[in-house]
Amino acid sequence: MIPAPFDYAVAESVEHAVQLLGSSDDAKIIAGGHSLLLLMRLRMATPSLLVDVGRIPGMSGVRDAGDRLAIGARTRHHDVHHDPLLREHCPIVAETAGMIGDPQVRHRGTIGGSVAHGDPASDMPTVLLALDADLVLQGPGGSRTVPARDFFTGFLETALAPDEVLTEIHVPKTGDAWSYLKFQRRSQDWAMVGVAALVQRSNGGVGSARIAFTNMGLTPVRASAAEAAMAGASGDGIRAAAEKAAEGTSPPSDTNASADFRRHLAQVLTRRAVEQALAR
């Protein structure tokens, strides 16, 4: 319940945060703390220095960036959920944010924290992967942009260097039909399996679809085989395409479900997600 001792520093700017991160071998960023503090309380994470980015001005909120929206990394799930720009131009992000954790968690947890933690059971990374979002990272050498596709590198591992700060998330303004289905046993739980679907309609069916999974591997994953099969599908064709959903995935087995059952769920949920998107 009580974390091991650590040093604590308040970053006054992103540059300051980068500098602080570089000053210690085992420094970690804390924003909302809803990924890191969980591990620290169980002493599964024992960073020597916590760099608090919670007071850096300008890191939260959503701004219009032309054909994209730029979401500040420290924007809380609650604010992502209610943001009018997201609701208008990228509703899948807003809706998914409302499914994360519970109200108290959404009042503290941030989109950047959720993404930077790299947990394949988290919802938002999956949605960003499906959206082909871009992540803006700032380090000692300046800023770089990494596509979501390249960001999630392993279980709790990302392209973020130890002395980099995730500052912004860029998502496209999209008119695609969409759905995020989260299969969970309890409302507050992480997804047993989650499916994000973005569908371009064509003649009442699917023109093309982008589909990604939560908790179907070590990272959030795109359902490439199902995406290919879904192109041009309608009616029973959607069902057939969805049967390819689990191809190429390597889901975990745990106390909630076996890997095989997750594969089954991925198929059912993929079909339902595409159908729900089309019906929306």
Partner 1 sequence: MSRIAVTVNGVRQERDVEPRTLLVHFLREDLGLVGTNVGCDTSSCGACTVFVNGESVKSCTMLAVQADGTEVTTIEGLAPAGQMHPMQEAFQQYHALQCGFCTPGMVMAAVGLLNEIPSPTEEEVREGLEGNLCRCTGYHNIVKAVLAAAGK
Partner 2 sequence: MATTTPKPLIGEPIPRKEDPELLTGRGRYTEDISLPGMLWAHVVRSPYAHATIRGVDTSKAAAMAGCLAAWSGADLAGDWAGPLVCAWPITDDIKMSTHWPVAQDKVRHVGDAVAVVIAESRALAKDAAELVEVDYDPLPAVTDVKAALADGAPLVHDDWGTNLSCVWSCENNSPAPRNSPSAPFFDDPDLVKVKGEYFLARLIPNAMEPRAGLVDYNPAQGEFTLYSTTQIPHVLRTTMVLTCGIPEAKLRVVAPDVGGGFGSKLDSYAEEAILLAAAKRMARPVKWVSERTDDYVSTIQGREMYQEIELAATRDGVVKAVRVRLLANMGAYYQLVSPGIPMLGAWLYCGPYDMEGYDLEYWNVFTHTTPTDAYRGAGRPEATYAIERAMDTLAFELEMDPVELRRKNFITKDKFPNHTIVSGLTVDSGDYHQTLDECLRILDYDAVRADQQKRRESGSTKVTGVGFSTWLEMCGLAPSRVLAALKYVAGGWDAATIEMMPTGTVRCLIGVSPHGQGHVTTFSQMVADHLGVGYDDVEVLHGDTQVVPLGMDTYGSRSLAVGGVAAWHACEKVIAKARTVVAHQLECAEEDLDFAGGTFTVKGTDKTMGIKEAAFAAWSAHNIPDGMEPGLAGTHLYDPPNFSWPNGAHACVVEVDTETGEVEILRYVAADDCGVVINPLVVDGQIHGGVAQGIAETLYEEAIWDESGNLLTGNMVSYLVPSAAELPQFELGRCVTPSPTNPMGVKGIGEGGTIAAPAAVGNAVVDALSHLGVRNVGRPFTPERVMTAIWEAQR
Binding site for partner 2 (CB under 8 A): 1-2, 4-5, 42-43, 183, 185-190, 192, 254-258, 261, 264-265, 268-269
CB atoms within 10 A of CB 132: 17
Give the one residue of 57, 185, 186, 255 binding partner 1; rule: CB under 8 A: 186
Q: Residue 4 Cβ, how far from partner 2 at the closest point, in Å?
A: 7
When the beta carbons of 2 and 84 are compared against partner 2, the nearer one is 2
Give the one residue of 18, 45, 50, 196 binding partner 1; rule: CB under 8 A: 50
Q: Residue 40 Cβ, how far from partner 2 at the closest point, in Å?
A: 12
Contact indicator for 232, 248 with CB cutoff of 8 Å: no
When the beta carbons of 250 and 253 are compared against partner 2, the nearer one is 253
What residue type is assigned to position 152 of the chain? F
Q: Rounded CA gap, 183 and 189, in Å?
A: 9
Candidates 37-45, 60-68, 225-233, 253-261; binding stretch for partner 1 (CB under 8 A) = 37-45
Candidates 186-194, 233-241, 242-250, 265-273; binding stretch for partner 1 (CB under 8 A) = 186-194
Helices (DSSP H) in the chain: which residue ranges? 14-22, 36-41, 77-82, 84-89, 91-97, 103-108, 111-117, 123-130, 148-151, 224-230, 236-242, 259-279
Give the one residue of 13, 37, 136, 268 binding partner 1; rule: CB under 8 A: 37
What residue type is assigned to position 51 of the chain? V
The Cα-based distances of 38 to 117, 206, 207 in angstroms read 12, 41, 42
Beta partners for residue 136, in sequence order: 145, 168
Candidates 15-23, 34-42, 224-232, 252-260; binding stretch for partner 1 (CB under 8 A) = 34-42
Closest to 77 measured CA to CA, from 110, 42, 113: 110
| Residue 265, contacted partner among partner 2, partner 1, none, CB below 5-8 A by kind | partner 2
| Residue 256, contacted partner among partner 2, partner 1, none, CB below 5-8 A by kind | partner 2
Task: Map residue 131 onto helix, strand or coil.
Answer: coil
162 backbone dihedrals φ, ψ, rounded to 5°: -60, -25
| Residue 248, contacted partner among partner 1, partner 2, none, CB below 5-8 A by kind | none
When the beta carbons of 75 and 215 are compared against partner 2, the nearer one is 215
What residue type is assigned to position 36 of the chain? L
Candidates 40-48, 83-91, 200-208, 235-243; binding stretch for partner 1 (CB under 8 A) = 40-48
Q: Rounded CA gap, 162 and 193, in Å?
A: 29
Candidates 13-21, 98-106, 144-152, 160-168; binding stretch for partner 1 (CB under 8 A) = 98-106
How many positions of this chain bind partner 1 (CB under 8 A)? 30
